[in-house]
Amino acid sequence: SDLQKQEERGELLQPLIFVLLVLCSILLYFKVSLMDPGFVKPEEEEGEDKGQGVVVPQIPGDIKLRRCGYCLVKQPMRAKHCQLCQHCVRRYDHHCPWLENCVGERNHPLFIVYLSVQLVVLLWGGHVAWSGLYFEQSREWLQHNIFLLVSFLLIFIFTIVVLLLLVSHLYLISCNTTTWEFMSHHRISYLRHSELENPFDQGIILNLWRFFC
């Protein structure tokens, strides 16, 4: 049959990979949006007092950990309270409105993977939309290709947004800083009073290794 001939020529492999990438991006979206981004729980405070809690970075200078005025937990270093999630989040990066969840210590690496997969899907989709276009200066051509044109323009816009977001996050990760720390450096006590501009920076290679591994 024609389907078997296409399979023998390898013509079905690319559409199959594309569908798998789309499914993977959807699964990653739900995974990142539904998982715990690193909420600070009251019971963890007791474990930290006994030396069994999560290890936090060294506090620069004589700055003391403060208690959150909203959820009343002792905030670990680099944590921030999110008023939308009503929780303090470890290594808080930002609250993503598209995910309706915070990006923090636990889901930040998966967020980067999601952006990477999404970028590949958008680039592939843009290539498919562009290859289906053949340009003619006529009203009939525009009527028959308006869907492809709109699709290509939307894909192009989303590709630029995702690309800029991914590049900016990879840059911040390579410096071992977060979006919140980068944007609010002057308002964060452990950064404002530190002798170093970024006391957490340990070099690009080690920063990337510790983030992803």
Residues classed as catalytic: 96
Contacts of 70 (CB under 8 A, 6+ apart): 81, 83, 86, 88
What's the chain's Rg over C-alpha atoms?
23
Amino acid 206 reads L
Question: Helix axis angle, 139-174 relative to 204-212, nearest 10°?
Answer: 110
Bridge partners of 95? 102
Contact 165, 115 (CB under 8 A): yes
Contact 65, 77 (CB under 8 A): yes
In 3D space, the residue among 88, 73, 81, 84 whose CA is nearest the CA of residue 38 turns out to be 88
Contact 117, 25 (CB under 8 A): yes
Amino acid 211 reads F
Tokens of 62: 């004589």
